[in-house]
Structure 1
Amino acid sequence: MKYMLLVCGDDTADASGMAPVEPWVEELGVERGVRLHGHRLRLPAEAVTVRVRDGEVLRTDGPFAETKEYVAGFDILDCASMEEAIEAAAKHPVATIGAMEVRAFWDDEDAEGRIRHLDAELTEAVRERDLDRAMACYAPDVEVFHPVSGLEQTGADALRKAQEQWFSALAGPADREVLDFRLRVDESVAFSHALVRLRAPLADGTTLDSVTRVTTGYRAAGDRWLIVHQHMSVPSDAGLPPAGRTGS
């Protein structure tokens, strides 16, 4: 379960004796893997408050409300329970002079399920050699590195040309089997590491049978996820098609 930790400072408090934040970040982020990310915010005096009334945009320099307490930063935590999140918040140095507001994310989406469905869709597209269906899995600004050509394709147009070359090297359906799939999802980005076995008859009369390690980066695009980065590596003796032909 993910939690937003709002770090609320107090401009009347004496922070001279406050412990440094870096050890907390090291323990929660590096050692325990509870803190996903976070950042400090500029002071309220530098804020801009925006309202729209009767179609007119009203801008006010400064915070939404005058108060001695203000949000000085935030952290995203991934904890098993609210109690664990509270324990993490209590260890934050600012808790000794200010306040920590812990709020659970509104968890009404199955991001992991959607990404796994996207990978399954890519598998079906490769099996049927359906170029349009395969390209629908990628973002327009995708960057893909193919081990066969040793080149990086930047953008959907370049990737489409590479995929066309790849499909033209096949003499029949390609079997894409995901042997291992590990996924880490954040709010708008995700990464997966997988072992993928590709088997297919080739146009030159030989047969492709190789295991590829695939690292994939995803980005949330509205209510769906798209692939924005993909890096594939294979053993040097994998028996892939000739250089210049690329795979998915």
Structure 2
Amino acid sequence: MKKFVVFPETLDYQNFEQASVFLDACFLLTLLNDEDDRKPLALDILQRLQDSDGSRIVISNHIVTEVIHNIFKTIIRNVLYIKHRWDQTGVKPSETEMALLGDLGTANCLRQIILNHRKENMLNEFLTTGELYFNVDKLVKELKNNFPGFRDGLTQYYIKAVNTFINLKSDIEEMGFDVIIGSSTDFEYELALDFCSKFQLESYDAIHLVMAETNGCQYLITFDGDFNNDYYEENYNNVKIIMPAS
């Protein structure tokens, strides 16, 4: 068992009193996804922190942008799912689903772009598997560039993505946590480059670890298995990695 990586079976031995904890994007997105089997594990971690006095939550500006972007893509996928199901079955969406669709012209344009690429099979498969294999970033970019008349309709989805993150942050604060949004400087950038080579981490994982350290965090909570490696174990002990799912 790795000394600096905390797995579920050793959580009871951790002292979270007045701890500063860095949350990564995967952890935050898990909190938002009711269908993610790991959500109860994420909630358990927050409950443990809540039961400890004075715990402080740190989220970096990189995490904020990553989470909002992923929320936005999820919204677009949901819009496509609802609109294609409606067109395929003729069954009108629920009131909640209609609110998510927003401007029907924009929703239809997103769907039509995929059809224009002769990828209706992807939409049909999406209905049965829940997995969409068409690149959402490419889809949105194509709408902006080729269908400017519907571009304003995307604003509703961006607003919803931002508000979803704001509400998540507020929910965490209402649990009694002081939530800090940290920003990186040239120093963090240089240190992250060093961490990339030293610990064989992807650049985004390296900057997360650096931001946790420079913001005085004792723990970084993640579902990312990249931190579980011998390079980290042998060369680094400033921040403990909590992996709720081993």
Normalised-by-shorter TM-score class: under 0.3
Higher relative contact order (Cα pairs below 8 Å, separated by 6+ residues): 2
Higher relative helix content: 2
**What is the TM-score with the length of structure 1 in the denominator?**
0.21
Bigger Rg over Cα: 1
